Structure 1
Amino acid sequence: MRQPSGYSATQIGLHWVVAVLVAAQFVLHDGISSAWDAYTKGQDVAFSPVVFAHVAGGVLILALVLWRLALRLSRGAPPPPENEPAPLKTLSHVAHWGFYGLMAGMTLTGGLAWFGGVAQAAQAHNVLKVALLALIVLHVLAVPFHRVVLKNNVMLRMIRPGA
């Protein structure tokens, strides 16, 4: 497979849509957390648009992650910047695949907890949430690191489509 010089417009769009949906999941967390606490105490859980949005958002994220994976596997990804040290290239590769795994894992554990009542899945969901948040912070901090330290403009790959 030929390695593209940049991400496609679809890949870029999916990246930003998923980023917004993941941010919304963190914002909507309190509603589903309260509903889960009520459920585990044997209380009735009434319909809540916030809970519905969190559940629907998770399902949508999984669908978009699968689409992103299909595009990445069929189209590929651009190479890392040439001036990026080999250990950072490896870390970047692991981090990107980690995003796919964590986002899929979050949806699956959330679904098992919410629809299956599996308490261990809820615990795993919380652990994955912390791991995903840490990876997001690392990902965001990589942008100024690339710009200031490595002096490359890797961020343009997520703004401007390439061939």
Structure 2
Amino acid sequence: MASPTGYSRAQIRLHWIVAGLIVLQFVLHESISDAFDMAMEGRQIAFNPLVAQHVAGGVLIGLLVLWRLVLRLRRGAPPPPENEHPLLKLAAHATHWTFYALMLMLPVSGAVAWFGLVEPAAETHEFLKAILMLLVLLHVAAALYHQFVLKTDVLMRMKKPQA
């Protein structure tokens, strides 16, 4: 399959929707952490819409990431800039596939922790969350580096769809 020159409208929208959902999950996680601690202590948990949001958000992220993977496998992704250093190309490739893996493992580990009250799954979930946040920071820094230092079109590819 030939590599497309850019991302499709669906790929771009899914990227930004998932990014927004991940930010929400990170910012609004305190309620589910507290509820999980209460459940582990055997205490009764009252309904909390923020807990429900976290659970539903995790499920939604997992489903949207599966959709993103299907689109990527069917349509492909644009190659890195031609004159980019091979190590940067390798880093970009590894980072993108690590993102997919984390965005699938986080909902699974969270579901096992929440619905099964499995403490090691909760610890794994927290560890994966920290890795994801570091990867997000690296991803944003790399996009800005491409835009302002290397002067490539990498950032624009996630803003303007290609046919």
TM-score (norm 2): 0.98
* 2:19 equivalent in structure 1: 19
Aligned equivalent of 1:40: 40
The 10-residue stretch of structure 1 (152-161 or 7-16) with the greater mean CA deviation from structure 2 = 152-161
Question: Which moves more between the two structures, 143-152 or 133-142?
Answer: 143-152
Alignment of 1:72-111 (within 5 A): 72-111=72-111
- The answer for the alignment partner of 1:140 in structure 2 is 140
Unaligned runs of 5+ in 2: none
More displaced 10-residue stretch of structure 1: 80-89 or 68-77? 80-89
Distance 1:83 1:134 in 2: 27
The residue type equivalent to 1:60 in the other structure is L
Aligned twin of 2:150: 150
1:66 is the counterpart of 2:66: yes
How many residue pairs align between the two structures?
163
What is aligned with 2:54? 54
Q: Identical aligned pairs, as a percentage?
A: 55
Match for residue 130 of structure 2? 130
Distance 2:162 2:115 in 1: 41
Return the offset for 1:148.
2.4
- Whole-angstrom distance in 1 between the partners of 2:31 and 2:134: 22
Name the amino acid aligned to 2:156.
Answer: L
Partner of 1:4: 4
For residues 67 and 154 of structure 1, what CA distance do their matches in structure 2 show? 22
Separation (CA, whole Å) in 2 of partners of 1:100 and 1:88: 19
Report the Cα distance in structure 2 between the residues aligned to 1:148 and 1:160, rounded to whole angstroms: 18
- Give the letter aligned to residue 124 of structure 1: T
Paired amino acid for 1:48: N
The 1-side partners of 2:20 and 2:108 are apart by: 19
| CA distance in structure 2 between the aligned counterparts of 1:8 and 1:144, rounded to whole angstroms | 21
Letter in 1 for 2:33: S
C-alpha deviations, 1:74-117, integer Å up to 9, x for none?
10000111121100100000100011100101000000000011
Q: CA deviation at 1:39?
A: 0.8
Shift of 1:153: 2.4
* CA distance in structure 2 between the aligned counterparts of 1:136 and 1:114, rounded to whole angstroms: 24
Residue 68 of structure 1 and its aligned partner are, at CA, apart by 0.2
Counterparts of 1:155 and 1:98, CA distance in 2: 19
State the distance in 1 between where 2:84 and 2:53 align: 39
**Secondary structure in 2 aligned to 1:147?**
helix
CA–CA distance in structure 2, aligned partners of residues 9 and 150 of structure 1: 25
CA RMSD of aligned residues (A): 0.8
Residue in 2 that maps onto 1:161: 161
CA distance in 2, matches of 1:42, 1:52: 19
